[in-house]
Structure formats: C-alpha cells, structure tokens
Structure 1
Amino acid sequence: MSVKWEYGYLYFVSTMSEEQREAGEYGMAAVIVDGDSVRSGAVASKIALLNELGNQGWMVENGSTLGGRLPNWLREAVQTAVRDGQASGAIEHYMRRRRPIPPGAEVGPQQPRQRARQRA
C-alpha cells in the first residue's frame, strides 16, 4: 500500500477581552487549517490540543511567530471562536500526516491508459 502526505497549519493566537485586559490576563484560540477545513476554538491547554492532533496522526513542527499584523482571515477565524477577545500575536505551526492510498487508487503516469484498457 502506498502512502501520501496530507499537510496543514496550526495557529495558536493570543486573545484578550476587556475583562482580561483589566485583570492582566490573556486567552488563547487555535485555528487549524487542513485539506478539509478551517476550524477554530478557544484553547485551555496547548498540550491537550497537541495530544488530540497527535492521536489523529498529525505531526506538528516547531512554530514561528507571525510578525506584524495578522491576516484578516485569521482574525475572522479567531473572532468566531472567541467573540469578545481581540487577536494579538500568533504562532504558526506546520503539520503533516500520512494517508494510506488503497490499492487501485494510486495515481501515476500510466493510470489513464489502464482506465482506457478497462473500458474497452
């Protein structure tokens, strides 16, 4: 059985509501971008989320800080998860996981010819 790779990104975004600002605290949201979707949610524990992604087969690489302003799509994703918090800084993590390709589903340079022969 062949294997292909699926790729995605994980963003940990710092958030702060007015209430948190007054208390000197901050919150955190996570935005997950993979081949299927863009998902976001409030995060209580980075470790718990990383363990969950690991259980799904994702390997998450070391992150890098996004400098300057966050892209609008990332701010919007955070706003859907944490309505009263303002997004500030973010760390972007690259992630990947293996996806088995079932026999007969492999795509290669000769597959169109093989399909043509099967139809004849």
Structure 2
Amino acid sequence: MSILKNRTDRSTPEECKIFIRPVRDVIDIIGGKWRLPILTALSFKSHRFKELQTQIEGITPRMLSQELKDLELHDIIHRKVYTSNGAVEYSLTVYGKSLDTILEMMRSWGVDHRKRIINK
C-alpha cells in the first residue's frame, strides 16, 4: 500500500489511529458475512430481491432484507419500486459503484491466495 510505504516504525498512536479509523468505517459498512456478496452481485447488474436471494447461497430473506436496508441507509444501493406491479429492484448507487475497484482488488487477491494455498 503506497500510503503505508513511507510510514516508519516510530509512528505515534495518534498517527496510527488516523489510518485505522477510515479502515474501520469501511469494515463497518461493507463487512460481515453477507454484504460483500450482495455488493458483488449488484456490481454486475441490478437485481430483484428473489434474484439476489438465489445468487447468494444460504442467505435468509430476513437477513437479505436487513442488509439491503442498511446498505441503502449508507447510500451504497438504491431501491426502486415499480408501482405497476409492486416489484422491487436493487442497484448500486453512483457512490456504491465507487467500491468496484476495491471489490475487484479483493477478488483478484482472493484468486491469487486460493492458488497459493492449493499449490502448497
């Protein structure tokens, strides 16, 4: 990480907190068992609730609903209700799409890590 390369071993606790706080904020918003899979699914295209539930194996409707509400509160996803048929569709907001680079880096690291572990 380029921001950490210039750090020395003599960082103060206050300087360390400056780096930890934003990372903690990210973990609070996208961390957990279900949020990253939800965000990954929505990074490909918009989905209806049932489509998300089908794609994210093991998630209960109640948990999916709660996670979607929380992500909507953080302006990461948008919930669109079609009044004609009552269908609901979820998509990433422009702000939510700013996570695409992070998600791609995590996916790439995960692929490399899986190869490394399998080849040991």
* Same-fold call, TM cutoff 0.5: no
Name the TM-score, length of structure 1 as normaliser: 0.24
Higher relative contact order (CA 8 A, sep 6+): 1
Higher strand share: 1
Higher helix share: 2
Which structure is larger by alpha-carbon Rg, 1 or 2?
1
Name the TM-score, length of structure 2 as normaliser: 0.24
